[in-house]
Amino acid sequence: MPESIRFVHKGQVRHLSGFAPTRTVLDFLREDLGRRGTKEGCNEGDCGACTIVLGSAEGGRVRYRTVNACILFLSALDGKELVTVEDLAAPDGTLHPVQQAMVDSHGSQCGFCTPGFVMSLFALYHEDRAPDRRRIDTALAGNLCRCTGYRPIVEAAVNAGCGRDGFDADQAQTLALLRSITRDRTLSPPGAGLHVPASADQLADLLLTHP
């Protein structure tokens, strides 16, 4: 595992070191940063409440995949873009299309499962140009709700505009940043010249005080 990591978050490269090798991304988000939009349900990779999205530079674009933050070690963020449910809305409060579609389709359910569903829809929104019902079901298969139904959420997937070309200006910037991390890794070994003490306050400053 790398001793220090670099990842992209909200359009900037973040450096992190000094963390326990078994620290999970979920605990990092919720406990160290106080970002509690990502929920803890089962804490063993079964329910999808903790779903986040990682972006990686592949084939000339940013590919987005959902992961369960509760079983993902922090070091796995190295070289990736981190996207959490708090990152989706625009600074002026405008909802991301998948969030708006959840509202419009009445797909927003309880506070435990909904953030995970939204993140799975976000990944689908960017990854599949023409998802059919089977593809939508597959995208949502890792998100469990024991209370209500999935139909409004499937409708949200359709209404969100999943199926458009997902490469936009924001992705171009992210792609450049991800490539810069890879290039820096080639030029200097991991950890060289980097140390970000992992106190809670300093970590919060890292991710919460930038624009």
Tokens of residue 24, six digits:
């999970």
Tokens of residue 17, six digits:
């070191």
Among 37, 45, 163, 190, binds ligand FES (CB under 6 A): 45
Among 130, 146, 186, 211, binds ligand FES (CB under 6 A): 146
Binding status of residue 53 toward ligand FES by CB under 6 A = no
Site string for ligand FES, 21-40 (x = CB under 6 A): -------------------x
Binding status of residue 46 toward ligand FES by CB under 6 A = yes
CB of 60 to ligand FES, least distance (A): 31
CB of 33 to ligand FES, least distance (A): 17
CB of 121 to ligand FES, least distance (A): 15
Binding status of residue 138 toward ligand FES by CB under 6 A = no
For ligand FES, how many residues bind (rule: CB under 6 A)?
20
- Tokens 């490539």 belong to which residue? 179
Binding status of residue 181 toward ligand FES by CB under 6 A = no
Among 67, 70, 139, 181, binds ligand FES (CB under 6 A): 70
Binding status of residue 42 toward ligand FES by CB under 6 A = yes
By beta-carbon proximity to ligand FES, the closer residue of 1 and 110 is 110
Give the chain as a 3 state SS string. Answer: CCCEEEEEECCEEEEEECCCCCCEHHHHHHHHCCCCCCCCCCCCCCCCCCEEEEEEEECCEEEEEEEEHHHCEHHHHCCCEEECHHHCCCCCCCCCHHHHHHHHCCCCCCCCCHHHHHHHHHHHHHHCCCCCHHHHHHHHCCCCCCCCCCHHHHHHHHHCCCCCCCCCHHHHHHHHHHHHHHHHHHHCCCCCCCCCCCCHHHHHHHHHCCC
By beta-carbon proximity to ligand FES, the closer residue of 47 and 162 is 47
Backbone angles phi, psi at 173, to 5 degrees: -65, -45
* Site residues for ligand FES per CB under 6 A: 40-43, 45-50, 68, 70, 109-110, 112-113, 145-148
